[in-house]
Amino acid sequence: MEVKELKEKVKQVLQKYQLDESVLVDILHDIQAECGYLPKEVLEETSRGLGVPLSRIYSVATFFKAFSLEPRGRHLIHVCTGTACHVRGTVKVLEKMEQALGIKTGETTSDLKFTLETVNCVGACALGPMVIIGENYHGEMTPETVGPVLENYN
């Protein structure tokens, strides 16, 4: 997305929230939904539009794990590393995911198709190891099921 388009998206979101800086988290969430992440230009434009210091915008954007300052893949993969999933083999599942995608945890594939992250617990301990891709939960994962599951997202 070009800088001009980014500025227009920010302007639309700020107008939606009537330039109310008290809902900064919601503003950043909506902008990220539009752009896929929060580029520097977006943070600067948000700062100008709300009339608040860039440092405040940046501190909110970096405090919450839900926000990303780097491009993310179309499919966000969360591998549960909670105790129940760990005991059931999530380490091997995560290793297979990294191998299959050619990236390490916290990285995004070069084609921007996948971003791989870990989470501490997804609350589905009886179905562990759990992998969440977008809105889809995949339970009882094994290294052997990683490939077939990923194929559904190509």
Phi first, then psi: what are they for 25, rounded to 5°?
A: -60, -45
Domain boundary among 16, 37, 63: 63
Domain boundary among 39, 63, 87: 63
| Residue 82 pLDDT | 96
Calpha distance 144→133 (Å, rounded)? 17
Residue 25 lies inside a defined structural domain of this protein: yes
Within this chain, do residues 79 and 55 fall inside the same structural domain, yes or no?
A: no
Residue 68 lies inside a defined structural domain of this protein: no
Report field, pTM of the whole predicted structure over 0.85: no
Within this chain, do residues 79 and 147 fall inside the same structural domain, yes or no?
A: yes
Does residue 6 contact residue 45 with C-beta atoms inside 8 Å? yes
Calpha distance 120→7 (Å, rounded)? 35
pLDDT tens-digit series, residues 22-46: 999 999 999 998 888 999 999 999 9
Q: What is the total count of domains within the chain?
A: 2
Instruction: Write out the residue range of the structural domain in which residue 11 sits.
Output: 3-63
| Residue 1 pLDDT | 64
Within this chain, do residues 58 and 81 fall inside the same structural domain, yes or no?
A: no
Report cis status (omega within 30 of 0) of the bond before 129: yes
pLDDT tens-digit series, residues 82-125: 999 999 999 999 999 999 999 999 999 999 999 999 999 999 99
Give the containing element (helix H, strand E) for 105. Answer: none
Residue 69 lies inside a defined structural domain of this protein: no
One-letter amino acid of 70: E
Give the containing element (helix H, strand E) for 76. Answer: strand 75-80
Helices (H) and strands (E) in the chain, counts: 7, 4
Domain boundary among 35, 63, 91: 63
